Amino acid sequence: MRLATGILIATATLAGAAPPVPHASPNASVDPGIIGKAPITSWPTFNGDYSGRRYSTLTQIAPSNVRHLTQQWVYKITDVGAQRGAPVPIIKCTPLLVGGILYITIPDHIWALNARTGNPIWHYDWVDHGGHLVGQRGVGIWKTTLFFQTPDNWLIALNANTGQELWKKNYADARKQYFSTSAPLIVKNHVIIGVGGDAMDMPGFLDSFDPITGNLQWTWWSTPRKGDPALTTWPNEPASEHGGGMTWMPGTYDPALNLLYWPTGNTNPVFAGQGRPGANLWTESIVALDADTGELKWYFQVSPHDTHDFDNTTAPILFDRVVSGKPRKLLAQAARNGFFVTLDRVTGKYLVVKPYVPLDYSSGLSPQGEPIPIPDKDPTVGGSINIVNATNWQAPAYNPNTGLVYVNSVEGKAIYYLTDDSDQPSGYGGTGEGIGPSERVLQAIDPLTGKAVWRHVYPNLNNAPTTLGPSILTTATNLLITGDDQKNAIIFSADKGQILWHHELGANESGGIITYLLDGKQYIVFGAGDSLYAWSLPQ
């Protein structure tokens, strides 16, 4: 049963004076032509625009006044209890803000909130039949239609103003351990969705659907099929067809080039690479695809022959710079394998490939700039020491004023064991567990050198297993908004990394941070645990 219910009783709590009641009803509608412009009075995509920069041009909130930031309202999820494998609701989405309505999600649930009050307008409740309920990154919007992915791999189209279901489509089998956490990416008349799931050696893919009919427009598989030259990077076709490369985080998009940039996840079997000698394309890569056809234009494999679940899903950020006197269209990624990568996004050729955490598993770069792994660092029966994932799905950011990429990273080690030493491993085939201390570090990296211009080590004694850092937002007023894993929302100066403001919340910031103008007032909105917080300056 799926429910979309109008909600009359406000559960939001108000701090301070009640916000003014608007005269016009909230009304969500997004012209696909404006998606991708700098977000000002809306936040209409996962990353705000298509570039993945998570940069706002708004200037109302600035270093001179951040000390006056005031909580305007909090919306706490009170109507969902423990979910399968998830004891409490945690908001891991980036909210969308369109027409005065905020959309937030957790697995199986969407809420539309009145952005002026935090009061719910409608709530959509999906009853899944399988899949992992580990996270949900948010919705996509096309005109007045909202798109939502469920744990058991249904794409749901809903009326953005009422929550009424329009159509739904199942695109993958949860029994094969496919599951979905992503936010659909809307490009022109394409609803592009990725998928997760690496327990059973299945291939990753992207699907593009028609936003009106739900008809499938194209599919791109993240491992090659019969006749493709890339098959030579696998021992055989069955290995490729079971090779992983999930697409579980939204990609970015360049409208001028009409190219999608998608990061692909870890190779399967995950830790046991002995059954799949070769580079294992296009897993662990950044791929550039034609947005209208799904055709592969170029790829850059960040972790050839991965055996450490480096799961290359961090956002590829798009930005333009003048390099050696020439304007260049660039792309940068702080990859989970510990390498910072800057590419020409027209050609895929690399400018910078450089470790941004201490690592010793690579013997150098191939002629194409791809890190060469040292086989001795592969998981073994007796154990093999290597780095932990240097980052994860939480969004990084880029500020064009500082020219820096910002990422919350982790520096630490783990012992990786091969638990399946057969010549035909399957599934994970191994295990890994952190050993010794690891540090969470906020880094500001110059994408033209790969070097950190400043670093901030977050002091902590406790384990920080999932909070590899909340996402990051940066603004034209030199703000960098993020948080630690001790429930503090923190604003740094983007150029120097000085702490300008902090506030202790009820939980760690857990999703994407957004900002927008509403009724002339700049808001900062983010989820932390089961609550969504809205901040702005007092009247």
Comparison of 114 and 182: residue with beta carbon closer to other proteins: 182
86 binds other proteins (CB under 8 A): yes
Comparison of 207 and 411: residue with beta carbon closer to other proteins: 411
258 binds other proteins (CB under 8 A): no
Among 91, 195, 440, 445, binds other proteins (CB under 8 A): 440
CA angle, 134 then 82 then 528, to 5°: 60
Among 413, 451, 455, 521, binds other proteins (CB under 8 A): 413
16 binds other proteins (CB under 8 A): no
The 215-244 site mask, x for binding other proteins (CB under 8 A), equals -----------------------x---x--
**3-class DSSP state of 382:** coil
- Give me the least distance between CB of 85 and other proteins, in Å please: 3
Q: Which residues 361-380 are close enough to bind other proteins by CB under 8 A?
A: 376-377, 380
Backbone angles phi, psi at 128, to 5 degrees: -80, 165
529 binds other proteins (CB under 8 A): no
Q: Which residues 155-214 are close enough to bind other proteins by CB under 8 A?
A: 173-177, 179, 181, 196, 198-202
283 binds other proteins (CB under 8 A): no
Alpha helices in 192-274 (DSSP H): 237-241
* Span from 10-18, 61-69, 140-148, 425-433 in contact with other proteins (CB under 8 A): 425-433
Size of residue set near other proteins by CB under 8 A: 90
Comparison of 51 and 389: residue with beta carbon closer to other proteins: 389
Comparison of 214 and 383: residue with beta carbon closer to other proteins: 383
Pairing of strands 140-142, 145-149: antiparallel
User: Which residues are CB-contacts of 208 (< 8 A; sequence separation ≥ 6)?
Assistant: 190, 191, 192, 193, 216, 217, 218, 219, 294
Comparison of 41 and 466: residue with beta carbon closer to other proteins: 466
* Span from 96-104, 348-356, 410-418, 528-536 in contact with other proteins (CB under 8 A): 410-418
With 0-12 / 13-18 / 19 or more C-beta atoms within 10 angstroms meaning exposed / middle / buried, residue 367 is: exposed
408 binds other proteins (CB under 8 A): no
Output the CA torsion sign for 503, 506, 512, 513.
Answer: negative
229's tokens = 């030259």
**3-class DSSP state of 330:** strand
Question: How long a stretch of residues is the chain?
Answer: 539
**3-class DSSP state of 375:** helix
Other C-beta atoms within 10 Å of 510: how many?
Answer: 23
Q: Which residues 497-516 are close enough to bind other proteins by CB under 8 A?
A: 499, 502, 504
**Residue 45 per-residue DSSP state:** S
108's tokens = 């199986």
- Give me the least distance between CB of 454 and other proteins, in Å please: 15
Helix (H) or strand (E) run with residue 443 in it: strand 430-445
Q: Which residues 91-150 are close enough to bind other proteins by CB under 8 A?
A: 130-132, 134-135
Backbone angles phi, psi at 117, to 5 degrees: -125, -20
392 binds other proteins (CB under 8 A): yes
Among 85, 375, 506, 538, binds other proteins (CB under 8 A): 85
